[in-house]
């Protein structure tokens, strides 16, 4: 479930922030420029407070970060585990273009693994679906002395 959320980019603190109000801490994505390569931003941390979890806020933050990076000519180094999984499983082709070149082989490998798993799952589901249409006749229970005695009364 995703929510409409206003993301604020605070350049001074190098964060994308969603202000949640009240006593709830803000959700945020933290980044920093990579030493020696100012055109690469390391997206190293995302945080969503537990009371705001499950609403898609982390995804909204990541999408805003990738949009900014793409619009400004940066590449993204996805060192945060959430962002790495996002890139591997849910990034659009435009977002993948923004990923730092050295990370792309890892992403392509992960994407091919996901594709293979998906294909195997679909194949298993197809086989299982076909199996549902097979007719299975119940086997008759052999009558044992105990079973017969309950059916016919005492011997």
Query: Domain of 104: which CATH number?
Result: 3.40.630.30
Question: Residue 147: CB partners within 8 Å, gap ≥ 6?
Answer: 141
Q: Report yes or no on 30 lying in a domain.
A: yes
- pLDDT band at 88, cuts 50/70/90? confident
Q: What is the mean pLDDT of residues 140-150?
A: 48
18 assigned to some structural domain: yes
> CB–CB of 40/100 below 8 Å?
yes
pLDDT at 150: 45
Q: What is the mean pLDDT of residues 90-113?
A: 76
Specify the pTM: 0.67
In a domain, 32, yes or no: yes
Distance separating alpha carbons of residues 82 and 46, to the nearest angstrom? 7
Grade residue 103 by pLDDT with cuts at 50, 70 and 90.
Answer: confident
- Tell me the residue range of the domain where 30 lies: 8-132
How many domains does the chain contain in total? 1
Higher pLDDT, 141 or 57: 57
């Amino acid at each position: 479930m995703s929510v409409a959320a206003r993301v604020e980019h605070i350049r001074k603190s190098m964060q994308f922030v969603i202000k949640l109000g009240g006593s709830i801490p803000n959700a945020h994505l933290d980044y920093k420029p990579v030493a020696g390569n100012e055109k690469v931003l390391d997206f190293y941390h995302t945080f969503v407070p537990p009371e705001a979890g499950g609403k898609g806020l982390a995804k909204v933050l990541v999408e805003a970060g990738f949009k900014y990076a793409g619009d400004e000519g940066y590449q993204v180094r996805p060192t945060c585990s959430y962002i790495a999984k996002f890139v591997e499983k849910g990034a659009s082709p435009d977002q993948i273009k923004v990923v730092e070149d050295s990370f792309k082989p890892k992403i392509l490998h992960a994407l091919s693994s996901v594709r293979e798993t998906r294909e195997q799952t679909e194949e298993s589901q197809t086989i299982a679906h076909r199996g549902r249409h097979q007719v299975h006749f119940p086997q008759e229970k052999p009558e044992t002395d105990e079973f017969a005695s309950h059916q016919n009364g005492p011997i």
